[in-house]
Amino acid sequence: MERVNPATGEALDPIEADDEAAVEAALATADEAFESWRDVPLAEREELLASAADVLRENEAEYAELMTAEMGKPLAAARSEVQKCAWVCDYYAEHAGEHLQDERVGAEPGVDSFVAYEPLGPILAVMPWNFPFWQVFRFAAPHLTSGNVGLLKHASNVPGCAEAIEEVFREAGYPEGVFQTLLVGSDAVDGIVEDDRLKAVTLTGSEYAGRAVAETAGAELKKTVLELGGSDPFVVLDDADVAAAAATGARARTINSGQSCIAAKRFIVHEDVSDEFVEAFVAEMEALDVGDPHEDVDLGPQARADLMEDLHEQVERSVEAGATVELGGEPLDRDGFFYPPTVLTDVPRDAAVAEEEVFGPVAPIFEVADETEAIALANDTDLGLGGSVWTEDRERGTRLAREIESGAVFVNELTKSDPRLPFGGIGDSGYGRELGKMGIHEFVNRKTVWVQDAEMPEDEPAGE
């Protein structure tokens, strides 16, 4: 697999891909490993997960450097990502037993009826490059601990991260085959999904990839969980703390150099505070440092040249449609794939940055007359992953949060994932949930068990 350092445009050492024989061997190993792994006591699986958290913390610098080299994440952010992976391991090491304990359901006197949560088997995780460790660990931490085994098909530009993640579990003491990496291209996914030994699939990626995997899995009657991106609204109402909204909004738009599914993608601002917000927001975006991700910067490069080109093409089409560039708007003239923080105003409702997911540090601002128009515009998308509402009235914020059609809404905070809370979307953003109690229940058999004493049938009445 070819790799390119996005900060320099220079090639990294390639990593050898797996052939069909290696994939077949991995599936056979996973199938065999599941038979014994499912019977390992839950307390032992929790202890192994806690050990994985220790391995992550011990090797934080190494894993962060690997992310920075392969996909350009600023080094400080990469270290934070490793820490978050350790956190999700800690969470399920502490709470998996609580989430997976039998749930008693009253039925009849003398009957013991309950729901048991049992693992399904080998699960394929198709994961993206933008959070190359976190996306994998939010799958692996709950679902390995519930007794499943994992097969990772990672994005082709982060194969080093994929290998490192497998090594984390190996160093933590997991048995052979409980977690394996498959270094294969997207063309191999259908065949893996169709294999009878595989029981379920989770994918984080594009809508196109999600539809393709769901179609194949559906034909095989296999469970899927999909997270397919977002076009998250960031709504600033007339009673908002504008300075706080602008400061947080700049972070919300540029986390991971703007390459986040739950980044703020559309800024919807009440006309009474629009001028004030634009001035403050542009100042916040302009103050962000862009540069070598090994340095103390806020933004690194875009992960690939084609991604930067696609982003700039969206900006150009939007400007042609009538948008005004307040800041940025052109790739930086330097080696690597750098795009600056960019702010667009006067954005037509049918412009590219309004109708398409924008995966980079580009912020379109839309002015609205009232909260009714704000909610209508917030919901004017097929993507429903996250959202943010800014108001000093908590009751108003709660009411409008309920009206936004998405998997999550944060009031006076940026949208974020948290091991303790369910994460996922609706509409074209996908279905199913990761994280929290709901997340660990996605890939288990919710088995109903009914137990009562055996009773002899009553004698039938004697005949005449």
Which residues are tagged catalytic? 227, 261
**Do residues 30 and 22 touch, judged by C-beta distance below 8 A?**
no
**Do residues 3 and 70 touch, judged by C-beta distance below 8 A?**
yes
**Antiparallel, parallel or unpaired: β 388-390 and 232-236:** parallel
Backbone conformation region of residue 445, classed left if phi is above 0, alpha if psi is from -120 to 50, else beta: beta
**Do residues 434 and 139 touch, judged by C-beta distance below 8 A?**
yes
Spell out the residues 6+ positions from residue 279 whose beta carbon is closer than 8 angstroms to its own.
none
Tell me the C-alpha distance between 185 and 267, whole Å.
Answer: 36
**Do residues 268 and 235 touch, judged by C-beta distance below 8 A?**
yes
Tell me the C-alpha distance between 143 and 29, whole Å.
Answer: 17
Tell me the C-alpha distance between 37 and 146, whole Å.
Answer: 10
Tell me the C-alpha distance between 254 and 249, whole Å.
Answer: 9
Spell out the residues 6+ positions from residue 243 whose beta carbon is closer than 8 angstroms to its own.
280
* Residue 444: strand pairing partners: 119
Helix residue ranges, H only, 118-259:
134-145, 159-172, 189-194, 207-219, 242-254
**Do residues 308 and 333 touch, judged by C-beta distance below 8 A?**
no
**Do residues 175 and 198 touch, judged by C-beta distance below 8 A?**
no
Closest CA relative to residue 259, chosen from 301, 319, 287, 204: 301
